[in-house]
Amino acid sequence: MRNPLQEQLLKAGLAKKGKVDQIAREQAKQRQGKPVASEAAEKIDTQRLQAERAERDRALAAERNAQAHAREIAAQVRQIIDANKVKREGEISYRFNDGEKIHSVLVNETLRTQLAKGTLVIARAGDSYELLPRAAADKIRERDASVIVLDHGQAADTRPASEDDEFYSQFKVPDDLIW
């Protein structure tokens, strides 16, 4: 029992009778539901592909979550800087290092002494630098410590003890020693 398309192809001479019979037998086998060995292999391949896709999707989702978290932290830092920045005024150029470069901000005498004491810190805000009080700097340091460029108060507190300091700590210097 051939379908009308097969009949038309035979009449037109575009298909051979043997090929049509072979295709009919294959279709009958598929209808009867006899499993072919290639179906099991295809099923295993599809399961493997689904597992690979799921793993890739999980990795992409984790990367997107990490990027979103980093953007959220950066937004929080910008908000803290904008809310707490100290107005800079003055004509004294206060120089500081940011990585390998030396930068400067203009401050007055009181801001300069506060920077030297560690009550104020310098933070990177995009391409510029802002003066912030210590409380705001601590909040920023919790989120992203790389934004804080200059902090004299923190540098003295967290200075790591060297081996020489440990060795010489056993020798006490007399109080009345005069050079």
The predicted model scores a pTM of 0.57
State residue 122's pLDDT score.
93
At 107-166, the pLDDT tens digits run 999 999 999 888 999 999 888 999 999 999 999 999 998 999 988 876 444 555 677 788
Say whether 173 sits in a helix, a strand or coil: coil
CA distance 49 to 51: 5
How many other β-carbons are positioned within 10 Å of the β-carbon of residue 139? Answer: 16
CA distance 20 to 1: 11
User: Residue 14, exposed/middle/buried by CB under 10 A (0-12, 13-18, 19+)?
Assistant: exposed
As a whole number, mean pLDDT of residues 63-73 equals 95
In angstroms, the Cα distances linking 83 to 73, 79, 125 are 15, 6, 12
Helices (H), the chain: 4-12, 17-32, 37-84, 109-117, 134-143, 152-157, 163-168
Q: Is 13's pLDDT higher than 70?
A: yes
Percentage, residues of the chain above pLDDT 70: 89
